[in-house]
């Protein structure tokens, strides 16, 4: 599972409330065990009331400052976009003019030959294409690749036709900086030693793959037992118990209550058999996809390899995985998917503007009547009313289910919450 807040929550009978929520106030202070004189007691009571009032004012002020800061950032973003649009109107350019911009061509020409060959441009053998509107082709890479010339050059340094460097961690860090997709390379990935055929379906869904199925060089652990044992260690580690398929993973999404939605209950919201294909964003070790496959639903799982072989593990289970970050546009055509699910990943760690673009992209790929299942979305109390409810409503989703629960692994006065929601893209 991709980076996300801690997963400790209430019991399955989590608080079920309306979407509207106000920030909590601290618990009342306890009075002394012995009864003071009347005057002193009245003064203490007055002090307590004043302290509570001051706390409420500070909380409200902090909320207002957060909202104003977000509004200022949004305004700056809008102004910047308008300035760019005005410049384009004053200086209209064609696609070919942009491609042939001297600064871009000079940058490309300054790159080593292999990098230059990887990103183009390449002249079309048959000349100008009316479908493309150009006579040359650029291979797609993330825009931020141009900001990290040295790192891009390092990534593209290898022996053509030979073995690729084992640089998974470096390559993923480059992706997370915005260099996504990375350029293609003309080398072979290192092969696992002693590779054997995978376990056949359906047994592979709940079988730990053999250690010889992957290359362990990029990871701290050097076998799957080490990954399983992580779940027994103290402290928080993202997805630390998700490789133990006989532990908590075995019971996920099998029951329904409060913040926890069961797969059977979600599927029953639609006519039988109409939920067929979908996406799990940041799906950890692929258990959501495994549960869905047991019900003849095909789910593609996106995941990052944060010191764990998530994508290899998912594929070993006989499931489809994609090494894709939350920043990337979803590689699906519009109005095609039946369901999109995300547990913890879509939460308040994502900047608001980026999250809104992501939600609109999910809306784009969902078919009419398709479902967005937000599973344990983490936020602060004031953010729920001020940011996320208006954002979801603004995108256009219809609420089918909505549950809110206090996050219990921190102090209550931290005002941290989860909400789970089943949202529908309208039919028209």
Give the model's pLDDT for residue 408.
Answer: 78
Give, rounded to a whole angstrom, the gap between the first and last alpha carbons of the chain: 34
Residue 320: DSSP 8-state? E
Closest CA to 56 of 30, 31, 32, 28: 28
Give the model's pLDDT for residue 329.
Answer: 93
* Per-residue CA distances from 405 to 19, 28, 98, 288, 356 (Å): 11, 21, 50, 22, 23
Give the model's pLDDT for residue 29.
Answer: 44
Give the model's pLDDT for residue 9.
Answer: 45
Assigned token pair, 48: 């307590």
Assigned token pair, 139: 């291979």
Sequence-distant (≥ 6) Cβ neighbours of residue 286 within 8 angstroms: 280, 301, 303, 310, 313, 314, 317, 319, 321
CB 336 within 8 A of CB 300: no
State the Cα–Cα distance between residues 52 and 397, nearest whole angstrom: 38
Coil, helix or strand for 233? coil
**Strand (E) positions, 115-156?**
122-123, 136-137
Q: Which residue's structure tokens are 């799982």? A: 301
Per-residue tens of pLDDT for the chain, all 428 residues: 444 444 444 444 444 444 544 444 444 444 444 555 677 777 777 788 888 888 778 877 776 776 677 667 656 655 655 565 555 455 544 434 444 566 666 777 778 888 888 877 788 888 888 887 888 877 777 778 878 889 999 999 999 999 999 999 999 999 999 899 999 999 999 999 999 999 999 999 999 999 999 999 999 999 999 999 988 887 666 788 899 999 999 999 999 999 999 999 999 999 999 999 999 999 999 999 999 999 999 999 999 999 999 999 999 999 999 999 998 999 999 999 999 999 989 999 999 999 999 999 999 999 999 999 999 999 999 999 999 999 999 999 999 999 999 887 766 677 899 999 999 999 98
Give the model's pLDDT for residue 228.
Answer: 94
State the Cα–Cα distance between residues 73 and 228, nearest whole angstrom: 42
Q: Which residue's structure tokens are 């004043």? A: 50
Burial class (CB in 10 A: 0-12, 13-18, 19+), 169: middle
**Sheet with strand 337-343: strands edge to edge:** 320-322, 298-302, 277-281, 337-343, 366-380, 416-424, 398-406
Cα–chain center distance at 73: 22
Q: What is the pLDDT of residues 89-108, one digit of tens each?
A: 555 444 344 445 666 667 77
Q: Is the pTM for the entire model greater than 0.85?
A: no
Instruction: State residue 56 phi and psi, 5-degree precision.
Output: -65, -40
Helices 38-90 and 352-365, axial angle in degrees (round to 10): 60
**Domains contained in the chain, CATH given:** 102-177 (no CATH), 203-425 (3.40.50.150)
Continuous segment of H or E residues that includes residue 20: none
Give the model's pLDDT for residue 201.
Answer: 96
Q: For residues 44, 47, 52 and 54, what is the CA-based torsion angle, rounded to 10 degrees?
A: -170
């Amino acid at each position: 599972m991709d980076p996300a807040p801690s997963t400790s929550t209430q019991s399955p009978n989590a608080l079920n409330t309306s979407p509207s929520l106000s920030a909590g106030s601290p618990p009342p202070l306890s009075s002394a065990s012995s009864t003071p004189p009347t005057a002193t007691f009245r003064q203490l009571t007055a002090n307590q009331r004043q302290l509570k009032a001051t706390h409420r004012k500070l909380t409200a002020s902090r909320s207002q400052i957060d909202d104003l800061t977000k509004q200022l950032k949004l305004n700056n973003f809008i102004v910047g976009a308008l300035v760019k649009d005005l410049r384009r109107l004053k200086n209209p350019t064609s696609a070919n003019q942009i491609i042939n911009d001297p600064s871009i061509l000079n940058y490309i020409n300054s790159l080593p030959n292999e990098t230059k060959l990887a990103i183009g441009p390449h002249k079309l053998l048959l000349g100008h294409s009316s479908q493309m509107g150009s006579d040359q082709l650029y291979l797609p890479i993330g825009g931020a690749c141009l900001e990290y010339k040295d790192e891009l050059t390092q990534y593209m340094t290898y022996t053509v036709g030979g073995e690729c460097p084992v640089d998974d961690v470096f390559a993923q860090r480059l992706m997370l900086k915005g260099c996504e997709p990375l350029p293609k390379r003309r080398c072979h990935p290192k092969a696992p030693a002693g590779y054997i055929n995978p376990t056949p379906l359906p047994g592979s869904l709940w079988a730990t793959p053999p250690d010889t199925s992957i290359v362990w060089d990029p990871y701290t652990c050097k076998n799957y037992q080490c990954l399983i044992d992580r779940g027994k260690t103290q402290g928080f580690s993202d997805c630390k118990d998700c490789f133990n398929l006989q532990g908590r993973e075995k019971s996920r999404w099998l029951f329904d209550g409060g913040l926890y939605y069961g797969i059977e209950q979600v599927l029953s919201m639609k006519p039988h058999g109409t939920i067929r294909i979908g996406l799990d964003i940041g799906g950890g070790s692929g258990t959501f996809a495994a549960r869905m496959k047991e019900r003849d639903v095909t789910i593609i799982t996106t995941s990052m390899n944060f010191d764990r072989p998530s994508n290899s593990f998912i594929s070993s289970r006989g499931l489809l995985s994609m090494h894709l970050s939350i920043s990337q546009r979803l590689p699906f055509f519009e109005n095609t998917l039946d369901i999109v699910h995300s547990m913890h990943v879509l939460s308040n760690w994502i900047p608001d503007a980026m999250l809104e673009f992501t939600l609109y992209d999910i809306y784009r790929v969902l078919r009419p009547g398709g479902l967005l299942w937000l599973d344990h979305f983490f936020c602060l109390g004031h953010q729920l009313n001020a940011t996320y409810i208006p954002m979801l409503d603004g995108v256009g989703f219809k609420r089918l289910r909505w549950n809110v629960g206090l996050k219990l692994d921190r102090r209550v006065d931290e005002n941290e919450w989860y909400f789970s929601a089943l949202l529908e893209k309208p039919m028209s």
